[in-house]
A and B are shown apart, each in its own frame.
Chain A
Amino acid sequence: MSHQKELDEVLSLVETLCTAEQIRDLLRTRKGNENIRITAEDKDDLVGRNLRTALETKAIEIEKAFDLIRDAEENGNQHIFYYRASQKLADTLTFEHVAKQLWGASWNKTVAEFPSIRLKPDSYKISDFRLFSTRKPKDWILKIYGQKTIMRPTGKTDTESDGSVWRQFIPENLRIVLSARWNAPDLLEIRIQRSESRKHVEEWYDQVWSTLSQAVTRDQFKPWELKTAMRNIALQAEENAEIYDFRDVGVVDDINEIFGSFQAFSDEGNLFKSQLTRDAVKGFLESGGDLNSLAVRWFARPTSEPQEEMKTLLGVRRKLHEVLVAGHCKAGDLDYVTSQLRAFSKTKS
């Protein structure tokens, strides 16, 4: 990172995406160094003066700032579409193999240039490709940045004398972060940032597959549907009361094409506090019904993951392989949820 402009962009991203506490935590890792200052009047100073000085003087390596950005933008506040690979396909999906398919023989040179933080106006580009975690050496992540100019309604209107109405829209630059994460041994996660527009979510989802197409295609995978996991999570809730609870379920009788839902009034509610609801959901499942949606809250644990409470919606718009992760979270916490889904997919109630 030698260019001033790029450093400016890194700092701008850190300021937008990270909390002041996260930035202070990073600075504290080198407390005692003469170029490290932790206290600041406000976040502007914390980033513009303290972190800038630390990075310019190399008291903190730029890679640490990238890690901060990665943590903030790659995990959570997103839709995750799960796909399962056959054993044969999974064996081929190594970091090197995928890199070679995407960039050819000189992939090493391209990958060494990552991460790239610049956006391409009204377009998409691969911004990062790296091994995901030291704990799981076969896992990798490919990240895509996009930028799109959208017209946002301001809510202002103007009515003319003939009754016609003008609505004001202003252009806004939307920053898009998409990724494909290989979660060994057999899962591919397509991660799409949350949006109020389903059209955007689907367009971005197609974009990830399009970017991956030199290496893998969608029809090589099977959607990993969470039908069994949802059923087991619901039916085993009482014995796992220390691990999770849930407040909303979508129920479905596929044969008769009947859909319904139970929702606790409070956003912090727990459906199984009600004996009546518990009996109804269990009875429905035991009589052959299924769930097509389940809002699960995974409790934080003091000594292991998840470090913070996680809110997830399993099954979105009747897509059983789609999960919504409501807020930003740590990479390990999100992996914890996927591990739980794997476990609940295997067990039988």
Chain B
Amino acid sequence: MSPVSFEHLAKQNPKYKRAIEQLQAWVNAHPQDRVLNPLKLRKDIRNVNPAELTMALDLLRKAGLLHRVYKVVTPAGVLADAEFDDPTAIPDKLPDRFEEYFETSDADVIPVFRRIA
């Protein structure tokens, strides 16, 4: 996979240039990861303010480079396979990683970003 470039977006948004560049470096270092989890990014990119990172992700989303989706956390504390554009579309039950179905009403839902570029 060819390296991703967010350079144009960084130039257009000097206030978030550093955060965008760090995101670009993260994406290029993780070519297999098609989903960006803001919580993981905050852990991995420690030299950028979390608020700036959030804004940078939103800029990438608005530029059409990322798509926001919602994932459900299974009772074991990992992400279920299914993903949803709209959190209200999450069904009552979902399979966990070992095909055991669980009630989603008590489960945590987290927004993540799917890479389009």
CB-based nearest B residue for A264? B78
- Are A263 and B99 in contact, CB atoms less than 8 angstroms apart? no
Q: Within the complex, what minimum Cβ distance (angstroms) separates B107 from chain A?
A: 14
CA gap between A293 and B76 in the complex, in Å: 15
A250 vs B76: C-alpha distance in the bound complex, in angstroms?
A: 13
Asked whether, in the complex, the Cβ of A266 is within 8 Å of the Cβ of B33, the reply is: yes
- B93 to chain A: closest CB distance in Å? 5
* Contact residues of A between 310 and 333, Cβ < 8 Å to B: 311, 313, 316-317, 324, 326
Total number of A-B contacts with CB less than 8 angstroms? 52
B30-78 residues at the A interface, CB under 8 angstroms: 32-35, 37, 40, 71, 76-78
A196 touches B101 (CB 8 A): yes
Q: Are B79 and A265 touching (Cβ within 8 A)?
A: yes
B residues lining the A interface (CB < 8 Å): 32-35, 37, 40, 71, 76-81, 92-93, 95, 97-101
**Cβ-closest 5 pairs across A and B:** A263-B78, A267-B79, A248-B97, A196-B101, A267-B81
Q: Return the chain B residue nearest A247 by Cβ.
A: B97
Chain A interface size, as a band, is 20 to 34
Q: Which of A248, A250, A267, A326 contacts B35 (CB 8 A)?
A: A267
- Pair A196/B95 contact, Cβ less than 8 Å: yes
Does chain B have a CB within 8 A of A34?
Answer: no
Provide the residues of chain A in CB contact with B81, threshold 8 Å.
Answer: 267, 311, 326
Question: What is the bound-complex CA distance between A261 and B114, given in angstroms?
Answer: 27
B99's partner among A153, A265, A267, A316 (CB-CB below 8 A) is: A316
Q: Do the beta carbons of A317 and B76 come within 8 Å of each other?
A: no
CB pair B71 A313 closer than 8 Å: no
Q: Are A324 and B99 in contact (CB under 8 A)?
A: yes
Does residue A80 face the partner (Cβ distance < 8 Å to B)? no
Residues of A within 8 Å of B32, CB to CB, are 268, 270
Distance (Å) between the CB of A146 and the closest chain B CB?
21
Whole-angstrom distance between the Cβ of B98 and the nearest chain A Cβ: 6
In whole angstroms, what is the CA distance A268 to B78 when docked? 11
A290 smallest CB distance to B (angstroms): 16
A295→B93 CA distance, assembly (Å) = 20
Which of A263, A265, A268, A317 is B34 in contact with, Cβ under 8 Å? A268
Is there contact, CB below 8 Å, between B33 and A267? no
30 A/B residue pairs, CB under 8 Å, sorted by A = A153-B92, A155-B92, A196-B101, A248-B97, A248-B98, A250-B98, A263-B97, A264-B78, A265-B40, A265-B77, A265-B78, A265-B79, A266-B33, A266-B35, A266-B37, A266-B78, A267-B71, A267-B79, A267-B80, A267-B97, A268-B32, A268-B34, A270-B32, A293-B98, A311-B81, A316-B98, A317-B99, A317-B100, A324-B99, A326-B81
A270 to B40, CA, bound (A): 15
- Residue among A250, A268, A313, A317 with the highest chain B CB neighbour number at 10 A: A268
